[in-house]
Amino acid sequence: MLPVCDHYCGVEARMRKSLALQAELAEEFGAVVFDVTLDCEDGAPAGGEAEHAALVASIALGAAPSARVAARVHPVDHPAFAADVHTIVGQAGARLRHLMIPKVESVTDVARAVAAVDAAGGQNLPLHCLIESPLAVRNAFEIAAHPRVQSLSFGLMDFVSAHGGAIPDSAMTVQGQFEHPLVLRAKLEISAACHAHGKTPAHCVVTEFKNADALGAAARKAARELGYTRMWSIHPDQIRPILRAYAPEQHDIERAAALIEAAEQAQWAPISHQGVLHDRASYRYYWQVLERAFRTGKTLPASVQGHFIHHQPDPELI
């Protein structure tokens, strides 16, 4: 179960503060509610890529055992890619939850990344891929199908600029990104590709990070209308609004818990609950509501808490 928020940071002080904040919120919510991804692509100064990769590896190695820490390396065709992977995966691969590969265009890029990661000793390390161009959107289903790919993210800014001015810059705003047909189509394709192959779709950043209301509205729209189950954060103030937007409402949590409790008592056979027929298809849906509640730090009803404290869903349901 991936947390619903993936927080990106590339400056040393912010990377360390983000990990501290992760531990603080984990204590508050009783679960790690966001990932911290240490960024090489946008964080490394030109000419300082090797030093920055070494810093990322060092910070990852120094993170608390319970921390969820990841890294974003340079694209596979960047001169620093191989060195990034060799340093970060080679030194800290066992501590990483995933490796983000930006500007993935095709499954060939995924295979190239897998070969480099495996050569560095990261054979079990999941990959996340950033979809940032029309060609990548075209290939999203093939990319999502790769067994090492765990999640696809949408890169709004690069996607718009990849169109050579054919898409106006208004499509990069918090409102315009949900209105321009090509951008909206790309988001839907990525979400559909992920759901087709059981992977996690991650929504792009909102750059207007000081506007909490706009961020919350964008997060809710991505979650409730476009099928995204995860979202990027680029500022600590964005984390809590994302958690709120992706969390189920309390009445939905209580309804899901009551139905799962009734289904469990019936040994997962079909039941009539409050006058409505339910079977394993709806049980899966309501179980996923409870999973999402757990991942966003919501308090679960006592009847289902035991399933999530040990992170072990009922095998009969799954």
Give the residue numbers of the binding site for substrate. 72, 132
Distance CA 25, CA 18 (A): 10
Q: Which residues are annotated as a binding site for Mg(2+)?
A: 132, 158
Distance of CA 160 to the CA centre of its chain: 21
Q: Which residues are annotated as a binding site?
A: 72, 132, 158
Strands (E), the chain: 5-9, 34-39, 69-72, 96-101, 127-131, 149-154, 200-203, 230-233, 271-273, 276-278
Task: Please give the structure tokens belonging to residue 56.
Answer: 């990322």
Distance CA 143, CA 32 (A): 28
DSSP 169: G
Task: Please give the structure tokens belonging to residue 182.
Answer: 């090509």
Contact by Cβ (8 Å): 94, 120: no
Which of 52, 37, 41 is CA-nearest to residue 77? 41
Side-chain-side CA neighbours of 138 within 13 Å: the count stands at: 5
Cα-flanking dihedrals φ and ψ of residue 127, to 5°?
-110, 140
Q: Please give the single-letter amino acid code of residue 233.
A: S
